[in-house]
């Protein structure tokens, strides 16, 4: 499965599903998995219930970038099964250098796997921070609040991190910039991914002008920004 966010990237899904119930996933991941379920006859894919696909463990895509379990959140994956995923990567002999991307809206889950992540140089760890604001976030998602997620990611002792601000929600510009800057000062933040809601879910979004200022200030601080669904915001 190709991924619309990152170039030369495919998603590898030996684990699928999530229970954070983000409202914007209804028109994206959940809808996509409902279509997939008809082709493979998987009722858990249809309901987006966290589950495994053992038959996919040995089928790592050939792309340069592999989004591991990209249609789910590994916070809901059994740790013993995660170890099987790691073993699959360790035993894989690719024809090219790869980067493996692991993303979670509960980044504290990464801590239990740090030994394996640190044993390799080709793993990026990502979390989503749509905003700095906790107030009202329960209407968006059952995931940890943005502030909790941020501090868990900040405290994560790992040298290669990425923040995904997509789909962006309205934010407090100075506070949000300071949060990203503190991650950058660690020397671990490789880049920030920024983008608006591509599925028209009616989310509380910042203005284009505010978003442009945010992106410009991040870049002025030496932070690499990449983007998708930018609505005129210049990266």
Give pLDDT tens digits for 70-89. Answer: 999 999 999 999 999 999 99
Contact 5, 193 (CB under 8 A): yes
Neighbours of 5 (CB within 10 A): 18
- Which has the closest alpha carbon to 11: 1, 21, 23, 24? 1
Average pLDDT over residues 31-54: 93
The average pLDDT across 59-79 equals: 96
Round to whole Å and give the CA distance between 226 and 223: 10
pLDDT (0 to 100) of residue 1: 43
Domain-located, residue 63: yes
Average pLDDT over residues 143-155: 98
Residues 108-137, mean pLDDT to the nearest whole number: 98
Contact 194, 171 (CB under 8 A): no
Quick check: is 206 in a domain?
Answer: yes
Tell me the whole-structure pTM to 2 decimals: 0.95
The neighbouring-strand residues paired with 65 are: 9, 99
How far is residue 6's CA from residue 117's CA, in Å, rounded to a whole number? 21
Q: Does 3 map to a domain?
A: no
- Confidence label for 6 from pLDDT (cuts 50, 70 and 90): low
Confidence of residue 5 (pLDDT cuts 50, 70, 90): low
Residues in the chain: 235
Q: pLDDT tier at 9 (50, 70, 90 boundaries)?
A: very high
User: Could you tell me the end-to-end alpha-carbon distance of the chain, in angstroms, rounded to an integer?
Assistant: 27
Residue 125 lies in a domain: yes
Name the DSSP class of 145: P
29 vs 16, 32, 39, 156, 165, CA distance in Å?
10, 5, 16, 27, 17
Domain count, the chain: 1
Residues of the chain with pLDDT > 70, as a percent, come to 97
Q: Can you tell me the mean pLDDT for 160-187?
A: 98
CATH number for 77: 3.20.20
Round the average pLDDT of the chain to a whole number and report it. Answer: 95
Helical packing angle, 173-185 and 146-155, nearest 10°:
20
Asked, for residue 233, whether it belongs to a domain, the answer is: no
Residue 235 lies in a domain: no
Q: Answer yes or no: is 219 within a domain.
A: yes
pLDDT at 11 over 90: yes
Is the pLDDT confidence value at 191 over 70? yes
Residue 2 has pLDDT above 70, yes or no: no
Phi, psi of 155 (to 5 degrees): -75, -10
Written as six digits, the tokens of 139 are 């209407």
- Domain range for 119 is 9-228
Q: How far is CA 197 from the centre of its chain?
A: 14
- Whole-number CA gyration radius for the chain: 17
């Amino acid at each position: 499965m190709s991924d619309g966010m990152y170039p030369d990237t495919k998603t590898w899904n030996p684990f699928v599903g999530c229970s954070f119930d983000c409202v914007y996933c209804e028109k994206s991941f959940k809808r996509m998995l409902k279509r997939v379920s008809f082709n493979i006859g998987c009722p858990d894919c249809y309901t987006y219930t966290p589950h495994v696909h053992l038959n996919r463990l040995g089928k790592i895509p050939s792309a340069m970038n592999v989004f591991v379990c990209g249609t789910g959140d590994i916070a809901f994956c059994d740790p013993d099964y995660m170890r099987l995923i790691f073993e699959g990567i360790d035993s894989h002999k690719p024809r090219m250098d790869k980067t493996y991307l692991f993303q979670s809206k509960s980044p504290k889950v990464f801590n239990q796997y740090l030994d394996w992540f640190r044993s390799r140089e080709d793993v990026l760890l990502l979390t989503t921070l749509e905003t700095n604001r906790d107030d009202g976030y329960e209407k968006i998602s059952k995931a940890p609040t943005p502030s909790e997620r941020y501090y868990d990611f900040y405290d994560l002792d790992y040298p290669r991190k990425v923040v995904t601000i997509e789909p962006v929600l309205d934010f407090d510009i100075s506070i949000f910039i300071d949060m990203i800057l503190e991650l950058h000062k660690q020397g671990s933040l490789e880049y920030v991914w920024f983008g608006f809601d591509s599925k028209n879910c009616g989310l509380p979004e910042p203005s284009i002008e505010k978003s442009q200022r945010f992106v410009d200030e991040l870049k002025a601080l030496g932070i690499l920004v990449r983007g998708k669904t930018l609505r005129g915001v210049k990266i």
